[in-house]
């Protein structure tokens, strides 16, 4: 599967940063770059990209205006880029795939690209069914025994070097799989990355509290307190709204 990508940003350095990050992915084809909204609309018509990396704030026609000008059925997958958080709600109302704050975090960029791959595979019917795309249980070792942990039992997951720590109530189970790889196997409708070293199950989140540096503190239903990095907060908030978890 190849991702056809169009970059839309009025800042040359910003376009160059996205281009450099995309260059490391063999399954990505860059079909063009645009510096404003009108040229983006023309390129969308002629190039038919699968994915947009789209700057929110541009002179004249903004990135959000570009999406809004297209009928929903003709909008490609879109990852929005901005230095400000206040556009997040409108972005997700327009069904943007992800929302990255500048300066762009490397892991968040990779996560957004993975989400695009998954969404495109689903659109193209490359996977037979949703249930088969996501892991529903995990084998963990307890001494000489093997225990099956169901995904629905997990409250949150943390990085432990080459392992992932599955928190199930008061128990911690170590799964021999790096967090980055495990994140790709989890159902994004149920689990969301909140930090480079933590993933939470959405229905376990009870409360969010903003901090002065735009990070957030999360309180889970069992009282566990976790820190959500500012680079993940917008996607988390949108996922919570979509799942009606709060």
pLDDT in tens, the chain (246 residues): 789 999 999 999 999 999 999 998 999 999 999 999 999 999 999 999 999 999 999 999 999 999 999 998 889 999 999 887 667 667 767 778 888 888 888 888 988 888 888 788 777 766 544 444 688 899 998 877 888 999 999 999 999 989 999 999 999 999 999 998 898 889 888 899 999 999 999 999 999 999 988 899 999 999 999 999 988 887 788 778 766 534
**pTM score, whole prediction:** 0.65
Does residue 105 share a domain with residue 166? Answer: no
Which of 87, 105, 124 lies at the terminal end of a domain, its last residue? 124
Statement to judge: residues 176 and 217 lie in one domain: yes
Same domain, 22 and 114: yes
Same domain as 98, residue 7: yes
**61 plus 172 within the same structural domain:** no
* CATH number, position 95: 3.40.50.2300
Do 22 and 117 share a domain, yes or no? yes
| Domain tally, the chain | 2
Identify the CA nearest to 84 among candidates 60, 57, 109.
Answer: 57
What are 130-145's pLDDT values in tens digits? 444 688 899 998 877 8
Whether residue 138 lies inside any domain: the answer is no
Structural domain including 234 reads 153-243
Please check whether residue 141 lies inside any domain of the structure: no
The verdict on 87 and 11 lying in the same domain is: yes
Same domain, 112 and 185: no
Residue-wise pLDDT tens digits, 142-165: 877 888 999 999 999 999 989 999
Largest interatomic CA distance in the chain: 65
Q: Which residues contact 160 (CB under 8 A, 6 or more apart)?
A: 174
Residue 134 lies in a domain: no
Sequence-distant (≥ 6) Cβ neighbours of residue 38 within 8 angstroms:
60, 61
Residue at which a domain ends, from 124, 139, 165? 124
pLDDT in tens, 99-108: 888 888 888 8
């Amino acid at each position: 599967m190849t991702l056809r990508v169009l970059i839309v940003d009025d800042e040359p350095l910003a376009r160059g940063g996205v281009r450099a990050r995309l260059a490391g992915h063999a399954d990505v084809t860059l079909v063009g770059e645009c510096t404003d909204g009108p040229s983006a609309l023309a390129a969308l018509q002629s190039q038919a990209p699968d994915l947009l990396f789209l700057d929110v704030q541009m002179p004249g026609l903004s990135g959000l205006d570009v999406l809004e000008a297209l009928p929903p059925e003709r909008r490609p997958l879109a990852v929005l880029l901005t230095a400000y958080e206040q556009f997040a709600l409108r972005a997700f109302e327009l069904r943007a795939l992800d929302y990255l704050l500048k300066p762009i975090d490397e892991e968040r960029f990779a996560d957004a690209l993975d989400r695009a791959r998954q969404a495109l595979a689903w659109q193209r019917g490359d996977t037979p069914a949703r249930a088969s795309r996501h892991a529903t249980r995990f084998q963990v070792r307890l001494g000489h025994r093997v225990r099956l942990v169901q995904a629905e039992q997990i409250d949150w997951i943390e990085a432990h070097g080459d392992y992932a720590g599955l928190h199930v109530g008061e128990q911690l189970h170590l799964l021999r799989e790096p967090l980055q790889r495990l994140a790709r196997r989890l159902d994004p409708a149920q689990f969301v990355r909140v930090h480079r070293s933590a993933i939470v199950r959405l229905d376990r989140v009870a409360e969010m509290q903003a901090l002065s540096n735009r990070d957030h503190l999360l309180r889970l239903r069992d009282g566990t307190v976790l820190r959500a990095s500012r680079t993940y907060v917008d996607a988390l908030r949108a996922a919570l709204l979509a799942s009606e978890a709060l």
